[in-house]
Amino acid sequence: MQWVTTFLAVVEHQGFARAADVLHYSQPTVSNHVASLERELGAPLLQRPSR
C-alpha cells in the first residue's frame, strides 16, 4: 500500500520532488515506489518527460 500512497502524493502534488517533501522521503525513494507500482501493475502510470 505504501506504493499507492506515494503514487497518489505524486499526482496530488504534481511532481516527484514535491511529493518527496510532503512524505519526508528522498526523491529517488518516491521514484522507486512509483516504478515498483508500475512493475506490479504491468503498465506505466505517469508520463515522464525525456531528458
Tell me the domain boundaries of the chain.
2-41
Residue 10 parent element (H or E): helix 2-13
Q: Is the pLDDT of residue 33 over 80?
A: yes
CA distances 4 to 24, 29, 30, 37, 51, Å, are 16, 13, 11, 7, 26
How is residue 12 written as a grid cell? Answer: 496530488
Residue 5: which H helix or E strand, with range?
helix 2-13
Q: What is the pTM of this model?
A: 0.87
What is the rounded distance in angstroms from the CA atom of residue 23 to the CA atom of residue 40? Answer: 22
Q: What is the mean pLDDT of residues 25-41?
A: 96
**pLDDT for the residue 13:** 97
**In this model, does residue 50 exceed pLDDT 90?**
no
pLDDT of residue 38: 96
Percentage of the chain modeled with pLDDT above 90 = 84
